[in-house]
Every structure is written in C-alpha cells, then in structure tokens.
Amino acid sequence: MIPSAPVDPRRTPRDAVYYALAAGSGLVVGAVGTVFHMAVDGISRWPDLVRAHLDGPLLYLAMSAVAAVMVAAAVALVRAFAPEAAGSGVQEIEGALEGLRPVRWKRVLPVKFVGGVLALGSGLVAGREGPTIHMGAAITKALSDAVGLGTRDTRGLLAAGAAAGLAAAFNAPLAAILFVIEETRRQFPYGLRTYSAVILCSVASAVMAEAINGSGPDMKLAVPDMPLLLLPAFVVLGAVLGAVGVAFNHALVASLDAARRLALKVSPYLLPVLVGAAVGPLILLRPEATFGGEQLAVSLPGLGLPALTLAGIVIIRFAMTMASYSTGIPGGIFAPILALATAVGVLFATLLALAVPMPPDAVAAFGVAAMGGLFSATVRAPLVGMVLVAELTGAYDLLVPVILTCVTANLVAEALGGKPIYEVLLDRTLRLAGTPRHEAPPASEELGGWDERERKTKV
C-alpha cells in the first residue's frame, strides 16, 4: 500500500482570501520596489555633489573613495546579516521553491534594500530587478508566516512576490508572470489557485508602481518597420548572441569563483574596495562603463558611434559586469544584460550597414532585438525575453524579428552546452553550502513543477 502524503498542519484559506492576500502583497511589493528605485536614482546623483565642490586630482580621489566606501558598506551588510542577499536573489527564490533554501525575510528585506541602494548608487554595473525580486518574495514570505499558510500556498506566494518584484522593477507585469511560468517551471507548484495568485500579485504591483512613478515603458525606443529581406540578419544576430550568452555565463561563474579564492586568501573586502575605487573615476571618464545601463540602452542606438567605439563599449560593459557582480553586493544582472545586448546589437547593425542597405534608424531595431536574444541565451527563457523587451521598449511592431532572435539565441546556447544562469548559480550556492542538489532532500511529491515527471523517470 502506498503511504499517503503527510497532511500539512498549517492553514489553507479559502480561494478568495488567498487571492486577496496575493493582491494586497502585490501592492506592498510595488510600493517597496518603486521606493527602492527612487532611492537608487536619488543616491546615484552623488557624483554631481562631488563635482560641485572639487576638481582636478582631488575630484578623482574623492570619487574613488566615495564609491569604494559605498561598495564596501554594502558588502559588509551582506556578510554580517544576510549572506544570501548577495547577488541577484533569483536563485535563492528558486531554491526556496524547491525547499532547498530558507527565506529569512527579517534579514533579507533590510539588507537587500539598504545594501542594494548603496551598491547600485555607487555606480557598479548591476540591476535593480535582482533586489526587487528578492524583496518581493521576502514580503510574501512574511505575510505567509503571519497568516500561517501551508507549504504549497506559501511557495505559490513566494513565486508571486518574486514576479511582483520584477513587475515593479521594469513595469512589465506580463513578462513577470511569464517569468514564473518559464524560469521556475521545475519548482513552481502549478494550479489554478497559485497561478492566479501570481497574476494578481504582479498586476497589483504594476498598478502601485504606476500610481507612484507614472506609466509607460521604462526604456521607450522608437523603431522602424523591418523589411522581410532583413529577417535573416536577425537570425544571424541571434546566433552571435547565443555564443555571447554562453560566454557570459561561464565568465560570471568564473569571476565569482576567482573572487571567492581572493576573499579566502586575502580579504573579502579587497575586491569590493578595488572595484569601487575604479568605478568612481570611471563615472567621470567612461560613464558608459558604470551603473545598470538602462539609460545607455536607450541612448546608444541614436549616438551614431563608430564600430571601434561600440566594440570598446561591449568589452568594457562585459568586464565591469563581471567585476561588479563578483564583489558580492546585492544586485541583479537583468539590466546589465540588456545594456550589453544593446551594445552588441548596435555594433552588429553598424557593421551590417557597411554591406547591406538599411532603413533609417534600423540600428535601434537590432539593439532591441539583441536585448531579448542575450536574455534568452543567458537566462534560457526566450518567451520571457520576447515579452520583456516589448514591454520595456514599447516596440511591439518588432515582435517577429525579436522572436527570431530569441529563438535562435536559445537554440545556439543549447547547442553550445550552455545552462540557465540561475540554475548554475543555485547549484553553486548549494555546493558551497555543503548541500549539493543530488544530496539535498527531495521536494514534496505534490509540489513539483512541469518537469517533475521527467525528473522522476530519470532518477
């Protein structure tokens, strides 16, 4: 006789109550995420204050010192109170959905907020979506604990809070919902109840974010209609981005491993101080090498830069993303990926224009398509990449080229042996914690995602 699954002793509220909890928590996540965004924008103006009072060598020394202190302070907060707050946080939520990682919301919320503001405001190449996703899940975990929800309902709200955090970061509720469907397909406890909660939570978050900060695409870009004859070029762009995405993932993990070795051998604060000290002057000398890159992604297609300069931007953005993320600060990689992708797409279009006649402003179209392509190659969630780019830029007329770019990038990344970056980061986290995935306790039978049957047959 097959033993029945243990009954969860915690509460299972009515559907209407559960949906109300999801919508209410979405409003809170939207408010927190928007305030976080505004705080980052506010503190990011510190270079203007320094420039107003200093010049010459003292200016660069002060810029270096201030940025180094901000980064070191962010790292100190993480190390002292919530080590799991380092980095994006998406992998932590995926681990929590599998029952492999705890969500210590009392620590994560303040550390992710304050540390994220310091780190992103310092000029590091990191995105605000990582902290908002992690904080969103932490907020719903706090609500679940307060109400006393069962395991399935708690995990459903965790995913809903993460989606709400993404919706608040980019004003992209549909992409946030799809992020749960595609990215957490192995962990999310699918069902009408939990899936509806994700939708309600994401929409409520977006409504609150728009009520506070206004509506409209976060990275609005005007793009022309692309002639059908240029569609093969987007396939080639996707192939290029597939290779870049695999290289990006390998480099990111290698940077984290190198930073850990340096921290163990010398000091965990050496790299953060060095990177912060370098970022400060770069804000003045090479601003395109600093901050998350949303403004760069919007402005770059219209600057008309030569190919050599664009290649330099690609290289320096790639290097600064690795350096920034490996410091251990709270920060995401979505925004850096989008900015890097735009630079690659604009470079590709600039080179293509030397051989093929192109419509005016076609460079912007390749930049937009590249955002989705690189996202698909690194995160390995092409559907999210397609929709996220459309919601971010408002370039809905470009859906066919974007689809071709995303699908091709995903297929090439798969052919090259690439793995989803958050899956790789979660495996690394579990290994360093001494609980590798193959040794971790299995998730409850009733909670598996779409791939649960496939995983069982392979065991």
Q: Return the DSSP state at 11.
A: B
* Rounded distance between C-alpha atoms, residue 202 and residue 216, angstroms: 16
| Amino acid (1-letter code) at residue 411 | L
CATH of the structural domain 228-433, one choice from 1.10.3080.10, 3.40.50.300, 3.40.640.10, 1.10.3720.10 = 1.10.3080.10
DSSP assignment of 326-387: TTT-B-BSHHHHHHHHHHHHHHHHHHHTTTS---TTHHHHHHHHHHHHHHHHHH--HHHHHH
What pLDDT shows up at residue 426? 95
* Rounded distance between C-alpha atoms, residue 78 and residue 93, angstroms: 17
Grouping H, G, I as helix, E, B as strand and the rest as coil, residue 87 is: strand
Grouping H, G, I as helix, E, B as strand and the rest as coil, residue 127 is: strand
- For 296, the token pair is 């760069």
CA distances for 419 relative to 155, 303, 376, 386, angstroms = 24, 34, 11, 19
Report the b/e string of 36-74 with b at 16+ CB within 10 A. bbebbeeebebbeebeeeeeeeebbebbbebbbbbbbbb
What pLDDT shows up at residue 201? 98
Q: What are phi and psi of 403, to 5 degrees?
A: -60, -45
What pLDDT shows up at residue 438? 60
pLDDT digits (tens, 9 = 90+) for 226-268: 889 999 999 999 999 999 999 999 999 999 999 999 999 999 9
Would you kindly state where each structural domain of the chain is located, as residue ranges?
A: 15-213, 228-433
Residues of the chain with pLDDT below 70 are 1-11, 437-459
pLDDT digits (tens, 9 = 90+) for 100-144: 999 999 999 999 999 999 999 999 999 999 999 999 999 999 999
What pLDDT shows up at residue 225? 84
Locate all alpha helices (DSSP H) within 44-104, ordered by sequence. Answer: 46-53, 57-81, 90-97
For residue 11, the cross-strand partners are 149
Does this model's pTM top 0.85? yes
Contact 322, 87 (CB under 8 A): no
What pLDDT shows up at residue 215? 72
Residues 6 or more apart whose CB falls under 8 angstroms from that of 374 comprise 241, 244, 245, 248, 337, 338, 340, 341, 344, 409
CA distances for 360 relative to 221, 349, 395, angstroms = 14, 12, 16
Domain 15-213 classified CATH 1.10.3080.10?
A: yes
What pLDDT shows up at residue 12? 81
What pLDDT shows up at residue 442? 52
* Rounded distance between C-alpha atoms, residue 359 and residue 354, angstroms: 13
Inter-helix orientation angle 307-325/334-352, to 10°: 160
Indicate the burial class of 9 (C-beta count within 10 angstroms; 0-12, 13-18, 19 or more).
exposed
* 15-213 and 228-433: identical CATH topology: yes
What pLDDT shows up at residue 448? 52
Contact 105, 63 (CB under 8 A): no
For residue 127, the cross-strand partners are 332
